Amino acid sequence: MPDKKNNVQQIRRSIALGLIDELKADVRAGRSRIKMDNHGAMVELNAEQLRERLRELQEQLHYLASDLPQKAWMFAVRKHHGQVWPGSDLPYLTHIGAVLLEIIPAVQASPSLDASLAICCALLHDTLEDTETNATELEENFNEAIVAGVLALTKDTNLPQEEAMRDSLARIRRQPPEIWMVKLADRTANLSQVPAHWDSARCLAYAREAEFILEVLGSASELLSERLLTRIMTWKGQTISG
């Protein structure tokens, strides 16, 4: 079961998120808000005071979320320990790091997104598919949004390969844009170098699949869409020339 500290942090984070949404609505509408001060008196907060309170809550939310990426990283390190990236002698974490390096500038370019959610799912995206981790173990360690994101990013191995990809993309589309971005980043990272042991037919099929991913999920991030399109074109060029 999750530890009490993690439960308390998740509750506090949910409260902060709710208050942030309410304050944003008040600021947009130009409304004031009544609150109780430290002496029990009712006072009215004007628009500037509301904006200041909003900034304070956003800083609090950042603090509450700050431990999650570190926890996700250590979880991924343990789960992928001893694994190597297929077709190489590099540790599997090389791929996880590559996906993370694609995600970070993308979320920085879109400050309204939940950076913690995107980063955690980038770190954990292969734990269900490529390690012995199960969904229950994720649920015991991470919040509902992260677990749902990782589940969507995990292909159903009981389905044929092409159908499994389409099924996963359909589930990803029901998730927030942060999860779409992880899939874009994952495929961008996977297209960094044509594997020497793949034949041209397999390489071109992989590129076509990447184009489909871009078509289905590309609207989530202009930056990642451009990155993926560039990788697809380079991949195709290397395949044809090779």
- pLDDT at residue 46 greater than cutoff 90: no
In sequence order, what are the residues at sequence separation of 6 or more whose Cβ sits closer than 8 angstroms to the Cβ of residue 56? Answer: none
Instruction: Report d(CA 14, CA 17) in Å as an integer.
Output: 5
Instruction: Report d(CA 156, CA 154) in Å as an integer.
Output: 7
Instruction: Report d(CA 8, CA 85) in Å as an integer.
Output: 37
DSSP summary character for residue 45: E
CB atoms within 10 A of CB 238: 13
Identity of the residue numbered 197: H
- pLDDT category, 24, cuts 50, 70, 90? low
Q: Where are the domains of the chain?
A: 1-65, 67-241
Identity of the residue numbered 135: A
Token digits of residue 178 = 């942060």
The segment with the largest mean pLDDT, out of 32-41, 59-68, 157-166, is: 157-166
DSSP for 60-96, please give it. HHHHHHTHHHHHHHHHHHHHTTT-B-TTSSSBTHHHH
Instruction: Give me the CATH code for the 67-241 domain, please.
Output: 1.10.3210.10
pLDDT in the model for residue 144: 93
Given a contact cutoff of 8 angstroms between Cβ atoms, the answer to whether 73 and 116 are in contact is no
Q: Which residues of 51-72 are buried (b: 16+ CB within 10 A; e: fewer)?
A: eebbeebeebbeebbeebbebb
pLDDT in the model for residue 34: 45
Q: How confident is the model over 65-91, as a mean pLDDT? A: 89
Token digits of residue 216 = 């289905």
Determine the length of the chain.
242
Token digits of residue 160 = 């044929």
| Beta bridge pairs of residue 43 | 35
- pLDDT at residue 72 greater than cutoff 80: yes
Identity of the residue numbered 145: A
Kindly state the helix (H) or strand (E) to which residue 225 belongs, with its residue range.
helix 222-241
Given a contact cutoff of 8 angstroms between Cβ atoms, the answer to whether 96 and 150 are in contact is no
Identity of the residue numbered 174: R
- pLDDT category, 117, cuts 50, 70, 90? very high
Return the higher-pLDDT residue of 197 and 173: 173
Given a contact cutoff of 8 angstroms between Cβ atoms, the answer to whether 85 and 91 are in contact is yes
Per-residue pLDDT reduced to its tens digit, 194-212: 988 899 999 999 999 999 9
pLDDT in the model for residue 4: 44
Instruction: Report d(CA 131, CA 77) in Å as an integer.
Output: 11
In sequence order, what are the residues at sequence separation of 6 or more whose Cβ sits closer than 8 angstroms to the Cβ of residue 74? Answer: none
Question: Is this model's pTM higher than 0.85 or not?
Answer: no
